[in-house]
Amino acid sequence: MEMQKVMLIVDDVEINRIILSQFFKNQYLILEAVNGHEALEVIEKQAVDIILLDLVMPEMNGFELLSILKKNEKYAEIPVIATTARNEGDNEIKAVEMGAADFITKPYNPTIVRCRVQNVMARIENEWWRFEQTAKDRQIVEMRRYIELDSLTGIYNSAAFFEKAASLLQDDPEIPYNIVYLDISSFKIINGLFHIETGNLILKTAAVYLKAITEGNGICGRMEADHFALCLPTDRFDIKPFVEGLDNAVQSLGICHNILFYVGVYPVDNVFLPVDQMCDRAHMALNMIKGHYTVRYAYYDDVMRERVLDEQMILREMEYALEEKQFCVYLQPIYSINENCPVSAEALVRWIHPSQGLISPGRFIPVFERNGFIVRLDRFVWETVCVFLAEQRKKTDRVIPVSVNVSRLNFYNSDFYDTITGLLEKYALEPWMLKLEITESAYMDNPRQIISQIKRFQEYGMQILMDDFGNGYSSLNMLRNMPVDILKVAMNFVQDIEHSDRAAGILKNVVKMARDLDMSVVIEGVETRPQVDFLQGIGCDNIQGFYFSKPLPMEKFEELIAGKDRATGK
C-alpha cells in the first residue's frame, strides 16, 4: 500500500490554513505551523513531502525559513510552494529565485492551487525517477564493464569481443572486414626473464595501441594470455604500418628483449560464421609463420582451409585407423651399387584410407608430431618391422636389416629404450637387424640427453643413422662427437649435383669425411643413372632411391629380395 504523503501548511492566518487544508485533506496528511520556527520544529519530528509557505509572517517569515531549508542538506529537496498576496509581485520572483518550486496567489482558486501542487509533485517524482534511473544505469554500466572488459588491459575480453564483433559484422554485411589475431613470440620467456609486471606492461601497451587503431572503426579484445584480436573494416587496415606501429609502441618501453608480434588475418567471407571460428582461422594463419624472424604476418587462404579440413580429418580418424590397421608399413630397399642388390631397407609408414586411398606420411606425420600420436604410430611401425624380421629369419637364412624412423618425441618417454630392446627380445632378433634413424635436427634438441640415450642403443649393439643430414645445422666437425654409425645424406644434395658443381663438391667431401670418421654413408633420393655413376665414382656404395626401387608393400619387398637372392645364387 502506498504511504500517505505529508503536507505542511505554514501560515500565520488560521483561515488560510483551513482553506488549504480543505483542498488537500483527502490526499495528504496535513500538518500546520504558524511561523518559520514552528515549521522547523515540525519537520524535525516528521518527514514532509511538500510545504505550502506563506512569505509574510511574524517571528520567522517565509523567506528566512526558505533560506534555512535550502541550505540544509536534509531539507533542501523538500518542494516548497510560496503563497503570496496579489500585490506581492516581487516576492514571488524572489521566492522562486531562493528555490521555491512555484507560488500560488491569494485568494486561492481551488483548481489553480490543486494544479500547481500536483505539477510540483509530479515534477519532483519525475526527477526522483530520473535520478534513480541514472543510478541504475550507472550500476548496469559498471556491471557490463565488469562482465565485458578484460581486467588487466581494459579492452573487451574474448566473450564480449565475439559478441560485439558478430553484431558489427552483421550490421552491414556489405562492408568487408578482417579478423586479425595477434600473438607475442616467446611471451612465457619474457615473463620468466623479467618480472610479471613487465609482461603486464607489454600487454597493456599493446592494448592501448590496438584500442587507438580500432577507435571509431572497429573493436579489439584480449583473447587469452598474450593473444589479442581485432575486427576492422578491410579498407581501414594496412598490415605493414600496423605491425610497425605495434613494434614501436612496445619497443618504446625499453625492455631489453626482442619482443615480436605475429599477426594472422582472416578476411571475413561469411559474416554468419561464429566469430570464435573466424579467430581460429586467423590464428591458424599466424601459426604458419610463428617462429620466423622475417615474416611477421600471414593471411588465411583456401590452401590453409584445405589443410585445416585435412588436419581435422586426420585427428578425427587417427585412433580408429590405428585400431583398424589402416596404417601399414612399406619397405624401401637400400642398394649396394657394388653388390647390385639390397643390403638393407627403410621402413616407411603409409595410411591406406578406405575412401581416400593411400595417404603419404608427409600429410599426417607433421600432425602427429604436433599432437604426440607419432609415439604410438612409431611403436606400431617398429613392432610390425620386428614381426617381419622374425618371419624373415624363420623363412630364410639371409635377413636384411631394416631401419625405422624414430620421432624425436620418443626421447622424452622414459620407456623408449626398454620398448625397443623389449621388442628385439620379444621377437628373438639380434640388435644389428633393427637400425634407428634419427633426424639430424633431433640431435640438436637437447644434445646431452639425446646423445646419452643413443649411446645406450649403440652399446646394446644397434646401429644409428643420422637421417636427413645436411638439412639441419650440424657441421661436419660436430659429427666427430656424435654417436652416429651411418650418415643418411638428405635428398636435395644428390638431386642438385647434375646442375651444381658446388653440390657435387660438397657430396664428395661428405663421403670422404664420413669415411675418415669410420661412418658409412647412404645417399637418399637417387633417381637417375648419372647420379648412380657419380656416386659410384666418389666411392659411395649405399643408395636409396627410386632409381632402384620405390618403397614397397612388405610382400613385394619379400619377392624382391627373394628374386635377388635367386639372382645372386643364394
Shortest separation between residue 367's beta carbon and ligand C2E, angstroms: 12
Residue indicated by cell numbers 616467446: 186
> Within 10 Å of residue 507's Cβ, how many Cβ atoms?
24
> Is the separation of the CB atoms in 8 and 41 below 8 Å?
no
Of 381, 402, 543, 554, the one binding ligand C2E (CB under 6 A) is 381
Of 219, 268, 374, 462, the one binding ligand C2E (CB under 6 A) is 374
Cβ-based nearer residue to Ca ion, 16 or 405: 405
Indicate the helix (H) or strand (E) that contains 52: strand 50-54
**Residue 220 touches which of ligand C2E, Ca ion, none (Cβ within 5-8 Å per kind):** none
Of 103, 298, 467, 483, the one binding ligand C2E (CB under 6 A) is 467
**Residue 32 touches which of ligand C2E, Ca ion, none (Cβ within 5-8 Å per kind):** none
**Residue 361 touches which of ligand C2E, Ca ion, none (Cβ within 5-8 Å per kind):** ligand C2E
**Partner residues linked to 52 by β-bridges:** 9, 81
C-alpha grid cell for residue 133? 534511473
Please identify, among the stretches 20-28, 191-199, 204-212, 539-547, the one whose residues bind ligand C2E according to the rule CB under 6 A: 539-547
Indicate the helix (H) or strand (E) that contains 553: strand 552-553
Distance CA 262, CA 285 (A): 10
C-alpha grid cell for residue 439? 633426424
Of 295, 296, 306, 216, the C-alpha closest to 262 is 296
Please identify, among the stretches 123-131, 317-325, 501-509, 524-532, the one whose residues bind ligand C2E according to the rule CB under 6 A: 524-532
Say what the alpha-carbon torsion angle 101, 106, 108, 109 is, to the nearest 10 degrees.
Answer: -90
Cβ-based nearer residue to ligand C2E, 207 or 402: 402
**463 lines the binding site for ligand C2E (CB under 6 A):** no
Helix pair angle (361-371, 374-395), 10° resolution: 120
Distance CA 81, CA 103 (A): 5
Please identify, among the stretches 87-95, 255-263, 289-297, 543-551, the one whose residues bind ligand C2E according to the rule CB under 6 A: 543-551
Shortest separation between residue 533's beta carbon and ligand C2E, angstroms: 16
Of 153, 405, 463, 531, the one binding ligand C2E (CB under 6 A) is 405
Shortest separation between residue 447's beta carbon and ligand C2E, angstroms: 20
**365 lines the binding site for ligand C2E (CB under 6 A):** yes
Q: What character string, x for contact with Ca ion (CB under 5 A) and - otherwise, covers 429-468? A: --------x-----------------------------x-
Shortest separation between residue 203's beta carbon and ligand C2E, angstroms: 38
Distance CA 317, CA 290 (A): 27
Helix pair angle (110-148, 158-171), 10° resolution: 110
Q: What character string, x for contact with ligand C2E (CB under 6 A) and - otherwise, covers 16-45? A: ------------------------------
**92 lines the binding site for Ca ion (CB under 5 A):** no
Cβ-based nearer residue to Ca ion, 214 or 384: 384
Please identify, among the stretches 111-119, 206-214, 540-548, 552-560, the one whose residues bind ligand C2E according to the rule CB under 6 A: 540-548
Q: Which residues of 408-420 are buried (b: 16+ CB within 10 A; e: fewer)?
A: bbbbeeeebbeeb
**Residue 489 touches which of Ca ion, ligand C2E, none (Cβ within 5-8 Å per kind):** none
Q: What are phi and psi of 56, to 5 degrees?
A: -105, 110
What are the residues whose beta carbons fall under 8 Å from the beta carbon of 491, sequence distance 6 or more?
Answer: 524, 525
Cβ-based nearer residue to Ca ion, 405 or 495: 405
> Is the separation of the CB atoms in 407 and 364 below 8 Å?
no
Shortest separation between residue 199's beta carbon and Ca ion, angstroms: 41
Integer angstrom CA distances of residue 1 from 4, 371? 9, 68
Of 220, 206, 319, 199, the C-alpha closest to 279 is 220
Integer angstrom CA distances of residue 382 from 318, 325, 407, 476, 557? 18, 14, 12, 30, 17
Site for ligand C2E in 324-363 (CB under 6 A): 332, 348-349, 360-362
Cβ-based nearer residue to ligand C2E, 38 or 467: 467
The contact set with ligand C2E (CB under 6 A) reads 332, 348-349, 360-362, 365, 374, 378, 381, 405, 407, 467-468, 491, 524-527, 544-546, 551
The contact set with Ca ion (CB under 5 A) reads 405, 437, 467
